[in-house]
Structure 1
Amino acid sequence: MTAPIGELADVLPGGSVLVDPDLLATYRYDSARDPRAGTPTAVVRATCTSDVQQVLKWASEHGVPVVPRGAGSSLSGGASGINGGVTLSLERMRDITVDPVNRVAVVGPGAITADVKSAAAEHGLWYPPDPSSVEMSSIGGNAATNAGGLCCVKYGVTSDYVLGMEVVLADGTALRLGGPRLKDVAGLALLKLFVGSEGTLGVITELTLRLLPRPAGAATLVASFSSLDAAVQAVVGLTARVRPSMLELMDRVSINAVEDMTRMGLDRAAEALLMVRTDTPGESAVEEIALIHEVCGRHGASEIYTSTDPDEGEALLAARRAALPALETLGSLLIDDVGVPVPALPSLVRRIQATAARHDVLIAVVAHAGDGNVHPVIVYPSGDCDAEARARRAFGDIMGAAIELGGTITGEHGVGRLKAPWLADQVGRDVITATARIKDALDPCGILNPGVILETGDRSPDPGS
């Protein structure tokens, strides 16, 4: 980079600009661990909107690419470093203010999702979006990718709870969009445009979030199945009759990985587990959990356990939350994130199994099954180039299968850099062209997160090619 980093450091608070090679290396990867990630020339740790404005004005003037980054928990390569670029970290912007009367929270983009939920809970309120990375992901990253999680099946995704934001455009202009109003249809829906834009249109520096009254209670059911197909058929049967607040699935590979790591007493012989939660109030909850029990039994569940104890319910769901870290102990991972209409879920799971056999790779299946969002986790031995190439071919084939079944290449992780080459296959070239026009209007120099969403990229299974 020939742009004067010192010039940027002069207009920012002391210690904001990092250039030490050892520190820069820690910002190279996000949780996707994309081997093609670059090393930023500098990292800026912003403390306020003004800092972000200064960085983007400077970057636009000098044509320097900027990668916005929250907690670095992206699973699609959306926050991985770029050679010659600047990584703009929002990790220091963590303020959280709860307004219990309006039922909103005003938060900094670096605030950890679990901390936002805890702050709301102190006022008897609830922030529903609940990604598995809740303890480590930032709320700004959640908004940038329109993250979902375990509660989506009933309560929706991040965009359903973003009422307002402050966002800084590529030229340093700060916009305020929306606010603490439950109804507001003034002007174009620009707020929704930035939610899910993955840092390609602007950098979010503040969010106003809708909060709900805290649910009174919940019942949790865990059902074991001797067949993965039977468990998936049970999901289809359940969604036709009830709307649980969670409906999660784990296959045998993920069950055993979690049991190896946690020793929770999971059924190692089960081919699949369904974890279902209902928070319907009063006597209706008893009726709903009984119906869930009946449907699971009719689809061949070999063992069904139900609890109304909140702590026990959380302990049961801890197995699902532990799936990804447990699978990481088995080798290197490629984490897919596809979604289909729920009736197509059995076909998708069968095609994932066929893909695993065709490419001779291990694929674990975990899913937010109630809304058709599946995370096939491809596991391969670290350092085995041939196995990695097969894994990458499987990664692409799974996205192709989802598209053919009327689904999507990403249900909640975002397109990032890893999935950008497949986006046109789903949305079509006309949509890509329209998206590029919006990008050009807001970021004419193309400095914001280049390579994310719009990059046509390289589908080669060889990461070094």
Structure 2
Amino acid sequence: MTADTGSSVIAQLVEALGEKVSTDAAGLSAAQADQSGHRSATAPLAIVDARSIDDVQQTMRIATRTRTPVVTRGAGTGLAGASIASAGQIVLSTASMTRVLEVNEADLLAVVEPGIINADLNAQLAQHGLWFAPDPASRAISTVGGNIATNAGGLLCAKYGVTRDAVLALKVVLADGRLISTGHRSVKGVTGLDLTALMVGSEGILGVIVEATVRLRRVVEGEIATIAAFFDTVVDAATASAALTAAGLQPAVMELVDPKTLRAIDDFVGGDLSSRGAAHLAVQFDGPSAAADARRALDILTEMGADADLTTDRAEGERLLATRRAAHASLERLGTTLIEDISVPRSAMPAMFSEIETIERKFGVSIPTLAHAGDGNLHPNFVFEGPEVPEHVWRAADELFQAALRLGGTLTGEHGVGTLKKRWLAAELGVDQVELQRQIKTVFDPLGILNPGKVF
């Protein structure tokens, strides 16, 4: 795109949207990066601060008319580079679209705009005795639209499902500015192909999500029972977590922290959890049978060698999970971190942790790892010096992904593909499926202007 062409695009945006268009250097610079630690080499063209569906439609009509690429962005908390923008691109921000349009207690649903922060939505729902179940570790800073775009999971998804399980319907602006409505407010609905499910996890390459009808749950009544268990090795802890699942128990939360991460958390929060064991497993049950299930789980864990205790004090349980939520901030103090996201069958978690230890030794890298043990989702963190990922770290990551696939797993459980994992996509999906998915994108985005360079 030439300077004259860029100026023309900006002029058209300003004419249509006025003060909602910004070319402020600081804002453009911020849009070049997300929390993955990666950054584009050049600044985008402009930022549109959309405040309504009409704003989004006008932006996409101008983008289609001028064939200008568009990167949709919420809070910029992604970890796969999917919302990073670069030269010649419009950043379409939905961060100001934060309204809760409806809360329907009878049908257990809410209608929300995409820019509302996950935790802010739940704070409003709490007044009605309701909650939105997707619970990413970034819930205090990530938007519901971003959660939908990546099909985010989190600490509670083993029992309550991932974001896709909580989305009933969407309003989506297509690349040419048309508005479509997908899904249903009803519990059941199978008319036509399920475009709602297709949109969830699509990382902005098919359309712009401008409204979501989400499934709600009533606040859980009864006890909350939390177990803090400590093991000599992370493989022992992973084996124990798999044993709880095999025993038919279904915790609301089951989080595993390896020795490196546990020490980093202690250093960050001034704690001493690592004095009790090398690896930590936090298990929480809720609902009417919480105490009985927790006692059964405690018996299994102690039989497997854990130093473990149980509390039914809600505040103590929340303090324990707050420590887990501090993991990423703790690891950032160790150096530059490449935060990865793989999932394997729950029974394969001990083998995956063994593979990680082998890769650490082979490449001389440090890979602190934590996991949503209840669903087999691991977050290995490659720690290194400097802003650029060294080549040997990429080679180590390659072996990590290949190991996950060999064990029946996937490249990403909740962060998405973005720019970081494009090179491995065919290894999991196969060449034919990747081509089919490219063709699907072309149906929605024939000019290829939506989030170009991401996923494929």
Judge same fold: TM > 0.5, yes or no: yes
Partner residue, 2:103: 98
Which residue number corresponds to residue 412 of structure 1? 414
Deviation by residue 1:348-389 (Cα, 9 ceiling, x = unmatched)? 111111111111111101000111100001111225x6x722
Q: CA deviation at 1:176?
A: 1.1
8 Å CA contact 1:32–1:76 kept in 2: the answer is: yes
- Check conservation: 1:231, 1:299, Cα contact below 8 A: no
| Residues 98 and 119 in structure 1, CA contact (< 8 A), matched pair in contact too | no
Q: 1:122 aligns with which of 120, 127, 132?
A: 127
Is the aligned partner of 1:361 residue 2:365? Answer: yes
RMSD of aligned alpha carbons: 1.3
- Please report how far the alpha carbon of residue 118 of structure 1 lies from its aligned counterpart in structure 2 after TM superposition: 1.4
Distance in 1 of aligned mates of 2:329 and 2:354: 25
SS of the equivalent of 1:219 reads strand
Q: Which amino acid in 2 is paired with 1:401?
A: A
Match of 2:88 in 1: 84
Q: Structure 2 matches for 1:274-313, cutoff 5 A?
A: 274-281=281-288, 284-301=289-306, 303-313=307-317
1:25 to 8, 24, 29: 29
Equivalent residue, structure 2, for 1:44:
48
1:20-419 equivalences in 2 (<5 Å): 20-36=24-40, 38-96=42-100, 97-216=102-221, 217-241=223-247, 242-268=249-275, 270-281=277-288, 284-301=289-306, 303-383=307-387, 388-419=390-421
Q: List, as ranges, runs of 4+ consecutive aligned residues in structure 1 with deviation greater than 4 Å.
A: none
Contact kept? 2:32, 2:40, Cα under 8 Å: no
Give the letter for the 2:20 counterpart.
S
SS of equivalent to 2:437: helix
* Matches of 1:357 and 1:71, distance apart in 2: 37
Query: What whole-Å deviation, never above 9, does each CA across 1:442-461 have from its counterpart, x for those lacking one?
Result: 1000000111111xxxxxxx
How many angstroms does 1:269 deviate by?
5.6
Equivalent position amino acid for 1:99 in 2: N
* CA positional deviation for 1:77: 0.5
Partner residue in 2 for 1:439? 441
Decide whether the 8 Å contact of 1:334 with 1:392 is kept in 2.
no
Inter-partner Cα distance in structure 1 for 2:359 and 2:350 = 14
Deviation at 1:347, TM superposition (A): 1.0
374-383 vs 146-155, which deviates more? Answer: 374-383
The structural deviation recorded for 1:267 is: 2.6
* Cα deviation code 1:393-424 (max 9, x no counterpart): 22222111111111100001111110111111
Tell me the matched-pair count.
Answer: 448
- The separation in 2 between residues aligned to 1:252 and 1:440, in whole angstroms, is 46
The answer to whether the 8 Å contact 2:68/2:88 transfers is yes
**What's the TM-score once normalised by structure 1's chain length?**
0.94
Query: In structure 1, what residue type is equivalent to 2:245?
Result: T
What's the TM-score once normalised by structure 2's chain length? 0.96
CA distance in 2, matches of 1:268, 1:430: 51
Query: How many angstroms apart in 1 are the aligned matches of 2:348 and 2:29?
Result: 42
Matched position secondary structure for 1:98 = strand
Indicate if the aligned counterparts of 2:69 and 2:448 stay in contact, CA closer than 8 A. yes
Secondary structure of the 1:128 match is coil
Q: Which amino acid counterpart does residue 389 of structure 1 have in structure 2?
A: E
User: Does the CA-based 8 Å contact 2:71-2:204 persist in structure 1?
Assistant: yes
Aligned 8 A contact 1:109 1:140 in 2: yes
List per-residue Cα deviations over 1:217-253 (Å, max 9, x = no partner): 3111110111111101101101111111111000111
Contact 1:107/1:208, CA 8 A, preserved across alignment: yes
Quick check: 2:235–2:350 contact (8 Å CA) kept in 1?
yes
Q: CA deviation at 1:430?
A: 1.2
**Percent identity of paired positions between Structure 1 and Structure 2:** 42
Q: State how far apart, in whole Å, the 1-side matches of 2:149 and 2:334 are.
A: 30
Distance in 1, matches of 2:185 and 2:272, equals: 45
- For residue 334 of structure 1, report the CA deviation from its aligned partner: 0.4
| Contact persistence 2:227–2:283 (CA under 8 A) | yes
Deviation at 1:271, TM superposition (A): 1.6
* Amino acid in structure 2 at the alignment position of 1:231: A
Moved more, 387-396 or 355-364: 387-396
Unaligned regions of 5+ residues in structure 1, if any? 455-465
Write the distance in 2 (CA, Å) between the matches of 1:37 and 1:234.
Answer: 45
Amino acid of the structure 2 residue aligned with 1:306: L
> Do the aligned residues in 1 keep the contact of 2:291 with 2:312 (CA within 8 Å)?
no
